[in-house]
Structure 1
Amino acid sequence: MAIVKPFKAVRATRDKVAMVSSKSYEIYTPAMLDSKLAFNPYTFLHVINPGYKYHKQDISGELRFKLVHNRYLEFKENEIFKQDKVPAFYIYQKITPTKSFCGIISATSVADYHNNVIKKHEGTLKQRELLFENYLKNTGFNAEPVLLTYPDNAVIASIIKKYKQQRAEYEFSTTDKDSHLLWIVDDELDIKEITTAFKEIDTLYIADGHHRSTSSCLLAERLAEENPNHTGNEDYNFFMSYLLPESELSIYEFNRFIKDLNGLSPHEFLIELDTFFRIENRNQEFYKPKEKHHFSMYLDGEFYALYLRKSLYNFTDALSKLDAQILYTTVLKPILGIDDIRNDSKIVYSQDKSDGLELKTKVDSGLFKVSFGMLPTSINELKEIVDADLLMPPKTTYIEPKLRSALTIYEF
């Protein structure tokens, strides 16, 4: 039973939202960030990059977090941000040149995370968890929802469809040719219907935002300990999420690029691969895998197709069937000597939705010796692994939609 709750979002006024909302901070290069800050006084980037006001960009730690809180207060004082007067759900639709995503922004339960109603598919780094917990504690808000997915539900879909026939509260486009629309659901009957529908859903899966959800849970534990009158209904017992039906989730693969062959020549490396793979040399013809357990490889100026010898590979559980795990256990660790695939500097991950040209160009540049490509992980594979209480290797999935910051803000 999944618990979702409407909340009073803090959000930009309709006339300014296109200028206020931003992509995630990490996406911007320094040059892009400087340009946004210099020419757009309304961008949320001023809030999360507070040192710009003082011409000082190297502010860090708790001082930065406190200044973020101050810039946030200024946006509210200047009425760039206003808080809704009644709790609501928010239907948000993002339309890209190739796909449309539409789901519900809500508050989701920390208790559901602890009770495994909200499940994760990736591990998290303790240092990042604590850093973001400290950020939340000092700023008092979260501006970017966790992306959760749920099985398609006819009741929820019908409510979304009804609101999409009405005028949106927000409707704007961005320079990357994406369109953004947001509807406010504050009708009590519709709120009850949404809440009831989610109570009938057994599991929500984290698609993106593992560190944000974990940090929110850590903060809730800390604030509960500090609050002698804790009831479990306080806002800090929930975190903001974007709930998207499974059919609308897009999952892409990450390519793997390796800087050296662990002392092997290309010929010796191919011989080592022959143990677990049937190898086809495609010369200059790019090979895109069409089936699970098939891989593309670019080595020494040529493309190869690798087909797993299933008779020699031991499938023991859902994780062992995952292509990213197969590549790790048969190639990366035993042959190339990459044990810690999260932190080893010899391996680099890249997500490229083009025709796979980067598999060739990055190796030809001399930065890498070999590259690997594979099919994307399916939503059913993800769920099977999660339901078995297993975790995927890092950089297994690149999931869309990527959400903008400050469309709705959750205070606690």
Structure 2
Amino acid sequence: MLIKPFAAIRPREDVAAQVAALPYDVYDRTEARRAVEGKPLSFLNIDRPETQFAPDADMYAPEVYAKARELFDARVEDGTFVCDEAPCFYLYELEMDGRVQTGIVACCLIDDYLNGTIKKHENTLEAKERDRISHIDALDAQTGPIFLAYRDNAQVAQLVEQARSQEPLYDFVADDGVAHRAWRIGAPADVEALAQAFAGVPAAYVADGHHRTASAVKVGLARRAEHPDYDGSEEFNYFLSVLFPASELAILPYNRVVHDLNGLTVEEFLARVQDTFEVLHKQSQLLDPVDKGAVGMYVDGEWYGLGVLPELENDDPVAGLDVAILQERVLGPVLGIDDPRTDPRVEFVGGIRGLHALEHRVMLADESAREAGTLKERGPAVAFAMFPTSIDELMAVADAERLMPPKSTWFEPKLRSGLFIHRLDD
């Protein structure tokens, strides 16, 4: 597949740690406002510009995106951001809990997404796309890199290792303990060698950033329509990506909390659950699934260890996923969650937040229902702790041109925004 070097807009080395910010979509509105307090250089100010307005302001108003452009231009003007003179590739390495993953920062062709060379495993929501389309258009730039995975390639790995032997461009540890390092690959011969090596990689997979990818592609297509004489070299034909070898990646579980039992008593619900899962054990302590087919369930103050019934195990790349079995046999028919993308009764909790977060959310939901007088009528909340989907399962689904259920994967560590920016108007 094709990867292209670019002249990144990026923070000065001495302020990179202050600029780098977690992706815009890991925060709700209150969390984003809190996260930028006292941090004027944090890129989250630009990524979530509604933080600069009153809490009740329309976060999608044109003036909000105009504010993002104003802040971005100001950081370029005051020298917080610099721009490399020549197109380069970059390496971006993250280290978390002793595990290291090193990706290539590059631009990918929107046509490779359209023709399936860059494969997806999730659908996107139009409302979320519109936000990032407006953000890209306002800044004339892509600011949040797409997290892509590819099957390991020995030639690419050798070139990456050579580049890592040089002095890093950035080297800092963020407040959450994740270490971030980056290198620039700027010598023309090295740039060409890496591009040629990557031409031998047959496909890449969207690991994290489906909405950012779809938005970047739609902006590119719109600009092609505005410039019918385009020749393919324009920057709007490409989108900002970081490509990681699959063997270095780890997926955390994406857990579920349902705010009531759909009118069932706990006893009735447990009986229905046993049509799909064997109850292996019951305990009051936290219960973390240890293998595929295992699910931890927390309801009414107790944890239940569940195992998928053998006759329901499935080799189909989608139907065999733990999250699919849970959705198709429990969340949908038993709890009434027919569309998990839009039903407000279901909440998705990233595995990075831990199992205590599931207990906390269940208790909050139960208390809210108790205060409203609906606990007896609707039943208590229930949480499901999932075993993480594997990277092999993700690639198998994408290769089959299928889609996973929503919120099937949670990648950690998260790529930081603001370290590498791809300008579209060059």
TM-score (norm 1): 0.92
Specify the SS of the correspondent of 1:224. helix
- Deviation at 1:355? 6.4
Residue 38 of structure 2 corresponds to: 39
Query: Which deviates further from its counterpart, 389-398 or 98-107?
Result: 98-107
CA distance in 1, matches of 2:25, 2:37: 18
Residue 18 of structure 2 corresponds to: 19
CA distance in 2, matches of 1:73, 1:250: 36
The 3 A distance-change label for structure 1 pair 127 and 35 is: closer
Contact 2:129/2:211 (CA < 8 Å) preserved in 1?
A: yes
Query: Which deviates further from its counterpart, 87-96 or 346-355?
Result: 346-355
Q: CA RMSD in A?
A: 2.3
CA distance in 1, matches of 2:244, 2:301: 42
- Deviation at 1:138? 2.1
Number of residue-to-residue matches in the alignment: 410
The 3 A distance-change label for structure 1 pair 34 and 208 is: closer
The 3 A distance-change label for structure 1 pair 378 and 342 is: same
Contact 1:256/1:347 (CA < 8 Å) preserved in 2?
A: yes
Residue 308 of structure 1 corresponds to: 308
The answer as to 2:394 corresponding to 1:395 is no
Residue 71 of structure 1 corresponds to: 71
Q: Point out where structure 2 has 5 or more consecutive residues left out of the alignment.
A: 368-379
The answer as to 2:284 corresponding to 1:272 is no
CA distance in 2, matches of 1:32, 1:17: 22
Contact 1:107/1:239 (CA < 8 Å) preserved in 2?
A: yes
Contact 1:255/1:349 (CA < 8 Å) preserved in 2?
A: yes
Residue 421 of structure 2 corresponds to: 409
Residue 130 of structure 1 corresponds to: 130
CA distance in 2, matches of 1:191, 1:398: 32
The answer as to 2:239 corresponding to 1:239 is yes
Contact 2:281/2:306 (CA < 8 Å) preserved in 1?
A: no
CA distance in 2, matches of 1:51, 1:281: 47
Specify the SS of the correspondent of 2:14. coil
CA distance in 2, matches of 1:357, 1:175: 21
The 3 A distance-change label for structure 1 pair 40 and 287 is: closer
**After superposition, what is the alpha-carbon deviation per residue over 1:15-43, rounded to whole angstroms, capped at 9, x for unaligned?**
22222222223445777755665534433
**After superposition, what is the alpha-carbon deviation per residue over 1:311-352, rounded to whole angstroms, capped at 9, x for unaligned?**
2x3747311100000001111111111101111111111123
- Deviation at 1:257? 1.2
Contact 1:62/1:135 (CA < 8 Å) preserved in 2?
A: no
Specify the SS of the correspondent of 2:149. strand
Specify the SS of the correspondent of 1:64. helix
Contact 1:120/1:210 (CA < 8 Å) preserved in 2?
A: yes
- Deviation at 1:222? 0.7
Residue 91 of structure 1 corresponds to: 91
Contact 1:101/1:401 (CA < 8 Å) preserved in 2?
A: no
Write the mapping of 1:263-302 to structure 2, written as runs, cut at 5 A. Answer: 263-302=263-302
Residue 386 of structure 1 corresponds to: 398
- Deviation at 1:212? 0.8
The 3 A distance-change label for structure 1 pair 211 and 51 is: closer
The 3 A distance-change label for structure 1 pair 325 and 28 is: closer
Identical aligned residues as a percent: 32
Q: What residue identity is the alignment partner of 2:13?
A: R
Contact 2:21/2:417 (CA < 8 Å) preserved in 1?
A: yes
CA distance in 2, matches of 1:243, 1:294: 31
CA distance in 2, matches of 1:125, 1:78: 37
The 3 A distance-change label for structure 1 pair 193 and 72 is: same
Contact 1:325/1:393 (CA < 8 Å) preserved in 2?
A: yes
- Deviation at 1:246? 0.4
**After superposition, what is the alpha-carbon deviation per residue over 1:67-107, rounded to whole angstroms, capped at 9, x for unaligned?**
22222122222222121110000111122234222111000
CA distance in 2, matches of 1:56, 1:260: 30
Q: What residue identity is the alignment partner of 1:397?
A: T
CA distance in 2, matches of 1:51, 1:337: 35
Q: What residue identity is the alignment partner of 2:80?
A: I
- Deviation at 1:282? 1.6
Contact 2:20/2:418 (CA < 8 Å) preserved in 1?
A: yes
Specify the SS of the correspondent of 2:351. coil
Residue 377 of structure 1 corresponds to: 389
Residue 352 of structure 1 corresponds to: 351
- Deviation at 1:53? 6.8
Contact 1:256/1:350 (CA < 8 Å) preserved in 2?
A: yes
Specify the SS of the correspondent of 1:8. coil
CA distance in 2, matches of 1:410, 1:179: 23
Contact 1:6/1:107 (CA < 8 Å) preserved in 2?
A: yes
The 3 A distance-change label for structure 1 pair 30 and 388 is: closer
Contact 1:281/1:302 (CA < 8 Å) preserved in 2?
A: no
Q: What residue identity is the alignment partner of 1:113?
A: Y
CA distance in 1, matches of 2:177, 2:142: 26
Specify the SS of the correspondent of 1:320. coil
The 3 A distance-change label for structure 1 pair 314 and 177 is: closer
Residue 336 of structure 1 corresponds to: 335
The answer as to 2:121 corresponding to 1:121 is yes
The 3 A distance-change label for structure 1 pair 104 and 288 is: same
CA distance in 2, matches of 1:340, 1:315: 22
Contact 2:32/2:48 (CA < 8 Å) preserved in 1?
A: no
Residue 261 of structure 2 corresponds to: 261
The 3 A distance-change label for structure 1 pair 271 and 43 is: closer
The 3 A distance-change label for structure 1 pair 194 and 343 is: same
**After superposition, what is the alpha-carbon deviation per residue over 1:169-190, rounded to whole angstroms, capped at 9, x for unaligned?**
1122222222221111011221
Q: What residue identity is the alignment partner of 1:335?
A: V
Q: Point out where structure 1 has 5 or more consecutive residues left out of the alignment.
A: none
